[in-house]
Amino acid sequence: MHDMPGNRKIRVLIVDDSAIVRKVLTEALSAEPDIEVAGTAPDPYIASDKILALEPDVLTLDIEMPRMDGLTFLKRLMQFRPMPAIIISSLAQSSCRAAVQAMEWGALEVLAKPGGPYSVGELRRTLAQKVRAAACARLRPRAAAEEIAVPGPVWQPHAAPAETVLAIGASTGGTEAIAAIVSRLPATCPGVVIAQHIPPQFSRAFANRLNSISALKVKEAEDNDTLQPGVALVAPGDFHMLLRKTGGRFRVIVKPGPKVCYQRPSVDVLFSSVAEASGARAVAALLTGMGSDGAQGLLRMRQAGAHTIAQDESTCVVYGMPREAVAIGAVSQVLPLPAIGPALLTAAADRALRPSAALAAR
Question: 76 and 163: one domain?
Answer: no
Reported pTM: 0.91
Question: 56 and 185: one domain?
Answer: no
Find the CATH number of the domain harbouring 108.
Answer: 3.40.50.2300
Query: What are the φ/ψ torsions at residue 33 (nearest 5 degrees)?
Result: -65, -25
Q: Please indicate, yes or no, if residue 291 is contained in any of the structural domains.
A: yes
In one-letter notation, the amino acid at residue 22 is R
In one-letter notation, the amino acid at residue 180 is A
Q: At what angle do helices 93-104 and 202-213 cross, to 10 degrees?
A: 60
Q: Please indicate, yes or no, if residue 1 is contained in any of the structural domains.
A: no
Cα separation, 223 vs 298, whole angstroms: 23
Q: Please indicate, yes or no, if residue 141 is contained in any of the structural domains.
A: no
Question: 105 and 166: one domain?
Answer: no
Active site residues: 171, 197, 293
**How many independent structural domains does the chain possess?**
2
Q: At what angle do helices 19-30 and 120-135 cross, to 10 degrees?
A: 70
Q: Please indicate, yes or no, if residue 146 is contained in any of the structural domains.
A: no
Find the CATH number of the domain harbouring 219.
Answer: 3.40.50.180
Q: Please indicate, yes or no, if residue 215 is contained in any of the structural domains.
A: yes
pLDDT in tens, the chain (362 residues): 444 555 799 999 999 999 999 999 999 999 999 999 999 999 999 999 999 999 999 999 999 888 888 999 999 999 999 999 999 998 888 889 999 999 999 999 999 888 755 667 778 888 999 999 999 999 876 544 444 444 444 455 455 556 799 999 999 999 999 999 999 999 999 999 999 999 999 999 999 999 999 999 999 999 999 999 999 999 999 999 999 999 889 999 999 999 999 899 999 999 999 999 999 999 999 999 999 999 999 999 999 999 999 999 999 999 999 999 999 999 999 999 999 999 999 999 988 777 654 555 55
Question: 108 and 174: one domain?
Answer: no
- State the residue range of the domain holding 218: 156-361
